[in-house]
Chains A and B, each alone.
Chain A
Amino acid sequence: MTMEFDYDINGGDFSRAGFASSHLKKILKQVNIDPKLIKKIVIALYEAEVNIVAHAYEGHIHVIIEPEAIRIEVKDRGPGIEDIDQAMEDGYSTASEEVREMGFGAGMGLSNIRNNADDLEINSTVNEGTELVIVKKLH
């Protein structure tokens, strides 16, 4: 038994950042997942949403809920990441001044995702886009 949900995210639409994570949060509460795990999943997804909004032109999030794990596939069309290891460091950010003024771009995004997930896979091509696969085990 699985459930799948899809979300389209527009780059630059900060006002909607958090829509997918709020929606998924409600679903996870309904399927009776431990609130502590929900929190971690929601934080990881929110960071992924903000990453698309702050850096990419557009993106798509595909969530698969299974009794064993939650899998979040994030794919965006955007500038890509030049140095993934550097991007994973706490506090490293390429966000513009404008984005930072809005309270985003603190450079904690990817490391926050990694810290809240059991598994994080990143593939990125410069000038094309970035793909993340985030996995959170439920047991």
Chain B
Amino acid sequence: MSTQTFHHALKIQEDICIGCSHCMNVCPTGALRVMGGKAKLSAERCVDCGECYRVCPVGAITVEQDDFSRVFDFKHSVVLIPEILFGQFPEDVDRNLIKDSLEQIGFSEVVEIEHAAAILKDTTRDYLHRSEQERPLISAFCPAVVRLIQVKFPALVDHVILQKPPLDITAMYYRKKLEDDGIHPDDIGIFYVTQCAAKIAAIKSPVGETHSYIDGVINLDYLYNKVYSTIKTKKEPIGEVRDETDEELSPEGVLWSLTHGEADQNEGRCLAIDGIHNVIEFLEKVENEEMSSVDFLELRACDESCAGGILNPANRFLTVERLRNRSREQEKLVQQGRPVSTGITGYRQYLVENLSLKPVAPRSIMKLDEDMTRALKKMRRMKDLMNTLPGVDCGVCGAPSCSDLAEDIVNNKANLRDCIFIQRNYEKKNLQRPDESFDIMRRIWGDKKLKGDS
């Protein structure tokens, strides 16, 4: 048995949680249960997709981040920003103003992550040509998808493209560049602004990498507030255009984190799928080999890809529109002969040499037991239990469905009497007293919910 623990950026604040079970009912990997009136998260099953965060009515699910003051610990504090950040602001907020504000709040350098597209565009095409891995090849861009494949689709781990995502590549590039400029490695701090929990988890316990190149993570909503208040208190009129000396991002770089951002750059039959439930449905088909001749899959856990990240304050569709407009502007610049992403392409060879990920290991959450004979016994018992349980998936037992309860029972994590229908049945047959049923409900849902009027 593996004793490895997995880092999760999503945390349940028990003092805030009201045990409403909304999160439990939307979790795509069945990682949540209610016990003692609080939601409990299973570290093995969670893939940090953030569906629970979206539905929590009281904000009890939080996304951890590093202390912002760490930014001041380094002589060179580099902030890696996703293009999505610019897409959060209305059109009248100039992007140079946003960059200026980032410098004002403490960063010495601002680098756009999607410059990595200049490297990945070519290496991915090459990879598709020469890789002998089974088709379709699946992009490792979205860390929630990589984890989903590990836990729910272990047979597909060999389909994952073993190339680092843009964030790591840009981090590698900029660290190397500063070191080449003569800056001591200890003086370099690289910070990442994230729109989701999965990327934080990937940085804190990377899959297929020995270490991360990132020193700290800052949540996008937190930074958005800091930037916006800096802009609002500025004397200069909003929209003032500074002389643009920074290097330009390519039109495809701007779109990289949106749906089709990767798929449209590759040759062959390439599909883009967003939304974790759509991704699961599609991976089922891939696993059955129901489709042939698909070369490349871009799979993103969030609806509208990173524009739909859980930490984004702006509406995802407006963000997509802003990025598309921006991409068209960049297209014009390219047509005028303006070079793009020149800094990172100077490091192409170094980056290509350090681009590989180690194979992704499966860690199935599906198996009932390591031993097949025992697993078969449990399976048989589950089948019997399913005939006894009501099949209404009411969640009153603290598990999301009757089959989840049956699975918990065969794994000694729950009792048949946790089911309210079974309780009624036992009471009628005088096998259980009402106060015993009451105690069971109290154990699952806590004292508060069972107070009643008296």
Residues on A lying within 8 angstroms of B by beta carbon are: 1-3, 18, 21-22, 25-27, 29-33, 35-36, 38-39, 42-43, 46, 65, 67, 138
Residue B243, interface by CB 8 Å: no
B366: A residues at CB distance < 8 A: 26, 29-30
A29: B residues at CB distance < 8 A: 154, 364, 366-367
Query: Are the CB atoms of A43 and B367 closer together than 8 Å?
Result: no
Query: Tally of A-B residue pairs with Cβ under 8 A?
Result: 67
Interface size class of B (residues with CB under 8 A): 20 to 34
Query: Are the CB atoms of B368 and A32 closer together than 8 Å?
Result: yes
- Given A3-B383, A30-B368, A32-B367, check contact A22 B288 (CB 8 Å): yes
Residues on B lying within 8 angstroms of A by beta carbon are: 154-155, 284-285, 287-290, 362, 364, 366-373, 375-377, 379-380, 383
Query: Are the CB atoms of B372 and A31 closer together than 8 Å?
Result: yes
Residue in B284, B289, B367 whose CB lies within 8 Å of A31: B367
22 A-B pairs, CB-CB below 8 angstroms? A1-B373, A1-B376, A1-B377, A3-B376, A3-B380, A22-B284, A25-B284, A25-B287, A29-B154, A30-B366, A30-B368, A31-B367, A31-B375, A32-B368, A35-B362, A38-B155, A39-B155, A42-B288, A42-B289, A46-B288, A65-B376, A138-B372
- Given A22-B288, A30-B368, check contact A36 B376 (CB 8 Å): no
A29 CA / B150 CA spacing, docked (Å): 13
Query: Are the CB atoms of A67 and B288 closer together than 8 Å?
Result: no
The B contact surface, by secondary structure, is helix
The A contact surface, by secondary structure, is helix
| Apart from A2-B376, A36-B155, A38-B155, 17 more pairs, CB < 8 Å | A1-B373, A1-B376, A3-B379, A18-B285, A18-B288, A26-B366, A27-B379, A29-B364, A30-B368, A30-B375, A31-B367, A31-B375, A32-B364, A32-B368, A39-B289, A42-B288, A138-B372
Query: Are the CB atoms of A67 and B376 closer together than 8 Å?
Result: yes
B364: A residues at CB distance < 8 A: 29, 32, 35
A131 CA / B258 CA spacing, docked (Å): 49
Query: Are the CB atoms of B375 and A32 closer together than 8 Å?
Result: yes
A46: B residues at CB distance < 8 A: 288-290
A138 CA / B288 CA spacing, docked (Å): 19
A42: B residues at CB distance < 8 A: 287-289
Query: Are the CB atoms of B376 and A33 closer together than 8 Å?
Result: no
B284: A residues at CB distance < 8 A: 22, 25
Which residue from chain A places its CB closest to the CB of B382 in the assembled complex?
A30
B368: A residues at CB distance < 8 A: 30-32
A22 CA / B380 CA spacing, docked (Å): 19
Query: Are the CB atoms of A1 and B380 closer together than 8 Å?
Result: yes
A33: B residues at CB distance < 8 A: 372
A94 CA / B449 CA spacing, docked (Å): 64
